[in-house]
Structure 1
């Protein structure tokens, strides 16, 4: 199973990169969660924010696979423990790729290598569009989208 999205954003790779890896950027576009990581391949990361377990709910966690500033960020992810009892057994790979195209940037997202019958696949299929739209809007306007939550 693979989810693949391509989006063109009126911004430089550095702007999109900052949105993907900075505390403020992730807070703005990932539902008020921040990324906690050293960004060293082989080391851990987590998206933490308000949720089932309070303000410090771990929504996703995993291992950084690649971190090439302004170009590639990839990781293996697991859902947080408050979502599924077998969270450690459930995983997928996420890869963000940035490529300068003229005066804009092509953002490609690939979410693949899903554990068989992963219960989050159908949610991810729809939620990635919301997150990517939020990234595009934030980079281009400095604002985020109001999804009515």
Structure 2
């Protein structure tokens, strides 16, 4: 089974890392223009939304919230938004992000697994996770944003 897995150590408390995920002023930069929209109740929907090329709001990713423990765990099913792939409803994976305190640092551990067979976005997901996670680390530790040219 295909699986993407990453671990980053960030010089901050778990709450500070969590804030970058959920504070729209920070997450919009970390997620390259998107923010999380969800009731944060397990079983409800979760979306990563932001402006499209023409400025209208689009859904980059959508799914169902599987687990949510503030400052600790975020897990959801992941479908590419309708503008990213015509077969978006058929294409799915699972994303699980955990934060653990390690000394005076936070270990951010992300697993993206349970990919549907022949998922066409698997290869590009690896590149984007590295960028997103690097961005989260930079924002938390320095308050600055990386410029990937997007």
Same-fold call, TM cutoff 0.5: yes
- Residues 19-58 of structure 1 aligned to structure 2 (within 5 Å): 19-52=20-53, 54-58=55-59
- The residue correspondences of 1:105-116 to structure 2 (distance < 5 A) are 105-116=106-117
Would you say how many aligned residue pairs link Structure 1 and Structure 2?
149
What does residue range 39-78 of structure 1 map to in structure 2 within 5 Å? 39-52=40-53, 54-78=55-79
> What does residue 10 of structure 2 align with?
9
* Alpha-carbon distance in 2 for matches of 1:59, 1:52: 12
1: CA distance between counterparts of 2:81 and 2:142? 31
Backbone CA RMSD of aligned residues = 1.1
In the TM superposition, residue 53 of structure 1 has moved relative to its aligned partner by 6.2
Residue 89 of structure 1: aligned partner: 90
Structure 1 unaligned residues grouped into runs of 5+: none
Paired residue secondary structure (1:87): coil
Shift of the alpha carbon at 1:60? 0.3
Shift of 1:121: 0.5
Please give the alpha-carbon distance, in whole angstroms, between the structure 2 residues aligned to 1:25 and 1:67: 20
Cα distance in 2 between the residues matched to 1:46 and 1:73: 13
Question: CA separation in 2, counterparts of 1:148 and 1:89?
Answer: 31
Q: Distance in 1 between matches of 2:16 and 2:93?
A: 26
SS at match of 1:89: coil
CA distance in 1, matches of 2:31, 2:41: 21
Contact residue 52 and residue 82 of structure 1 kept, 8 A: no
TM-score, normalised to structure 2's length? 0.95
For structure 2, list consecutive stretches of 5 or more residues without a partner in the other structure: none
Superposed displacement of residue 145, structure 1: 0.3
Instruction: Tell me, in whole angstroms, the C-alpha distance in 1 between the residues paired with 2:23 and 2:45.
Output: 16
Looking at structure 2, the residues matched to 60 and 113 of structure 1 have their Cα atoms a distance apart, in angstroms, of 16
TM-score by length of 1: 0.96
